[in-house]
Structure 1
Amino acid sequence: MAEMPDATEDHLPASCTGCGSALGEGDSIGFERRQVRDIPLVTVTVTEHRAHRCRCACGTVTASAMPETVAGSPSSYGPNLRALAVYPLVFQHIPVERTARLIRDVTGAEVSTGWVASLLPEAAGLVEDSVDLIRALLVMGHILHADETTTRIASVRRWLHVARTDFLTLLHLAPRSRAGADAGGVLPGYRGVLVHDSLSLYAGYPRCGHQLCGAHLIRELTAIEEDFPDQKWHQQIRWALAGLNIQALRVRSGEITEITPEALLLHLDAFHQGITVGLSQHPRAEGRKQSTARNLLERLRDQAHAVLRFADDPRHVPFTNNCGERALRPVKTQLKISGCHQSEHGATAWLTVRSYLDSARKHGLSAFDAIHRAFTDNLWMPPIEQAA
């Protein structure tokens, strides 16, 4: 309950239940408290701006300029209403038509679907400076998560890339290629540890360290176990990876200061022995095309350092790329609720605003406050000291 309520209402008995005498506030000897939280009904208000022309005694007529926040048309909508329209459109995945109807029903403002749709590129332009700084700070981070997924624009399938840290998110459209990943402006200059799945395009960034997603590898090992239930090497490798992750989590929680040499040796021996046994049971076939099991085993062998980097630095390097995957889920939610974007321009604007909102929320700002600040010339900018 609030210590200082905004308003109070006192309810006094009309008369004594014993003798029938009238009772008033001065007779009170105590009270029971109940609090009700509610919001005022929202109604659009119209503010008329009048830019006067004044004639001086010398005969000169001087006209006042309209405030910069007032649009050039005779009638326009202000920043509060604009922010209210962009918030459900980008953060709550509500389609344009339903967003317009929501605003009409709640505020009484007779907005059109065209006006709502026009706010998306406007908002993207307003947050551009913040997103540019987000991009620069991601390049400077010590740990970076990268992932990709498919989306649709009209009837065409497109690829979506994400680069993110615990504090920042950047989404962009591009082909599923090295050039597409470069287009985000983060990976070409990145020199920290890049956490990702085993997609081959990430191998094209040799200047940064790599951590392959352990959750992906464990899923692949589990799938191979279903195909080869009589073999044991996949269980051994999975046990080693899961065991090292448990030790790494204990270090992160402060339970232990480091993974002990004994535990490290036990799990690493199991990991490498499992690979050796697996390779003997799945020899190379003639030609370039190999079995799924052989491909996985060779990847574990040839990229062992990228698989096990989290055990070298358990305090900082994560075992999985789950947070990278989570950053892509809003796009899938958008497709399910609102359908696909009809143009690349609109999709790019949506992703730009979403990158800004997700980054601001990681710093404790609500999504509505973040977009409202953009429309009121008070753009949120990520703090440089939290780049990592």
Structure 2
Amino acid sequence: MGHVLHADETTTRIGTTRRWLHVACTDFLTLLHLAPRSRAGADAGKVLPHYRGVLVHDSLSLYAGYNSCTHQLCGAHLIRELTAAEEDFPDQKWHQQIRWALAGLNAQALRVRSGQIDEITPDALLLHLTAFHHGITVGLSQHPRAEGRKQSTARNLLERLRDQAHAVLRFVDDPRQVPFTNNCGERALRPVKTQLKISGCHQSADGATAWLAVRSYLDSARKHGLSAFEAIHRAFTGNLWMPPIAQAT
């Protein structure tokens, strides 16, 4: 069974300073930490370096440097980018075709995961993969490269879909284990952002770091069926909860 890890990042504030909040999580464990929005910042969590499973993330370039693992780009992000491209270029069809292909493959993968079918059929694969690659080819022809390094948003999206097709479609190879989206990572960040909006920002990095350590502990415990009250009670009574399973890398 392959191991799947989700990585994501968002902004937070320490006093008047904007800081970056990183998460690395699985269905069983969550780790939140403060660090710059960089490869070194992601490394600071001490989870991603040398990780050898499947890493699910958005297309942020810092994740591309992790060569010990394989990658799955978040399909929800790609769908949103394709929808934005449709709004910018309503008379073109390539974005609709690629989006249809990705959504169709995800629907098939979900059927496999739920046990409705044993595998994505060759006919379904051929139909959707042909549409995916054809849509990219058409889009690239309608958005040729401009002189210089800076390219249009549409061109950058199309080149990413073409050059990283293996990472876009990783979920098709292993639909039982590899998800189409990075929802696990986004769910881990959402309560933290919500609480900060309600309670206000932290006043020191030390306070924020301690608070994120507690949040990581509580979210990990929640994934194993413990309530926040029970997890905190165990921590204060000398019976600290620890994950009951070993996590392979």
Give the TM-score normalised by structure 1. 0.63
Residue 180 of structure 1: how far off its partner (Å): 0.1
In 2: Cα distance, 1:313 partner to 1:245 partner? 12
Match of 2:85 in 1: 224
Residue 199, structure 1, aligned to residue 60, structure 2: yes
Greater relative CO, 1 or 2 (CA 8 Å, sep 6+): 2
Residue 246, structure 1, aligned to residue 107, structure 2: yes
Does the 8 Å CA contact 2:50/2:66 hold for their aligned counterparts?
no
Match of 1:317 in 2: 178
Q: Which amino acid aligns with 1:149?
A: T
Q: Which amino acid aligns with 2:219?
A: D
Equivalent residue for 1:343, pick from 200, 204, 210: 204
In 1: Cα distance, 2:52 partner to 2:232 partner? 32
Structure 1, residues 57-112: CA drift from partner, whole Å, max 9, x if none?
xxxxxxxxxxxxxxxxxxxxxxxxxxxxxxxxxxxxxxxxxxxxxxxxxxxxxxxx
Match of 1:280 in 2: 141
Q: Which amino acid aligns with 1:225?
A: E
Structure 1, residues 348-377: CA drift from partner, whole Å, max 9, x if none?
000001100100111111111101111100
Residue 185, structure 1, aligned to residue 46, structure 2: yes
Q: Which amino acid aligns with 2:131?
A: A
Residue 384 of structure 1: how far off its partner (Å): 2.3
SS of structure 2 residue aligned to 1:188: coil
Residue 307, structure 1, aligned to residue 168, structure 2: yes
After TM superposition, list the pairs within 5 Å mapping 1:281-300 onto structure 2.
281-300=142-161
In 1: Cα distance, 2:234 partner to 2:192 partner? 23
Q: Which amino acid aligns with 1:184?
A: G
Equivalent residue for 1:173, pick from 28, 34, 40: 34
After TM superposition, list the pairs within 5 Å mapping 1:41-56 onto structure 2.
none
In 2: Cα distance, 1:384 partner to 1:249 partner? 26
- Structure number with greater Rg is 1
Residue 386 of structure 1: how far off its partner (Å): 6.0
In 2: Cα distance, 1:349 partner to 1:386 partner? 24
Does the 8 Å CA contact 1:334/1:340 hold for their aligned counterparts?
no
In 2: Cα distance, 1:387 partner to 1:168 partner? 12
Residue 207 of structure 1: how far off its partner (Å): 1.1
Residue 321 of structure 1: how far off its partner (Å): 0.3
Does the 8 Å CA contact 1:215/1:319 hold for their aligned counterparts?
yes
Equivalent residue for 2:5, pick from 139, 144, 147: 144
In 2: Cα distance, 1:189 partner to 1:340 partner? 33
Match of 1:91 in 2: none
Residue 259, structure 1, aligned to residue 120, structure 2: yes
Residue 387 of structure 1: how far off its partner (Å): 5.6
Structure 1 portions without partners, runs of 5+: 1-140
In 2: Cα distance, 1:293 partner to 1:366 partner? 45
In 1: Cα distance, 2:57 partner to 2:247 partner? 22
Does the 8 Å CA contact 2:113/2:175 hold for their aligned counterparts?
yes
Residue 322 of structure 1: how far off its partner (Å): 1.1
After TM superposition, list the pairs within 5 Å mapping 1:10-29 onto structure 2.
none
Q: Which amino acid aligns with 1:212?
A: L
Residue 189 of structure 1: how far off its partner (Å): 2.1
CA RMSD of aligned residues (A): 1.0
In 2: Cα distance, 1:361 partner to 1:332 partner? 18
Match of 2:130 in 1: 269
How many residue pairs get aligned? The number is 248
Equivalent residue for 2:70, pick from 191, 201, 209: 209
In 2: Cα distance, 1:315 partner to 1:373 partner? 35
In 2: Cα distance, 1:383 partner to 1:372 partner? 18
Residue 334 of structure 1: how far off its partner (Å): 1.8
Match of 2:237 in 1: 376
Residue 344 of structure 1: how far off its partner (Å): 0.1
Runs of 4+ in 1 over 4 A off after TM superposition: 385-388
Give the TM-score normalised by structure 2. 0.98
In 2: Cα distance, 1:259 partner to 1:316 partner? 14
SS of structure 1 residue aligned to 2:49: helix
Does the 8 Å CA contact 1:153/1:343 hold for their aligned counterparts?
yes
In 1: Cα distance, 2:29 partner to 2:64 partner? 23
Residue 330 of structure 1: how far off its partner (Å): 1.6
In 2: Cα distance, 1:384 partner to 1:253 partner? 24
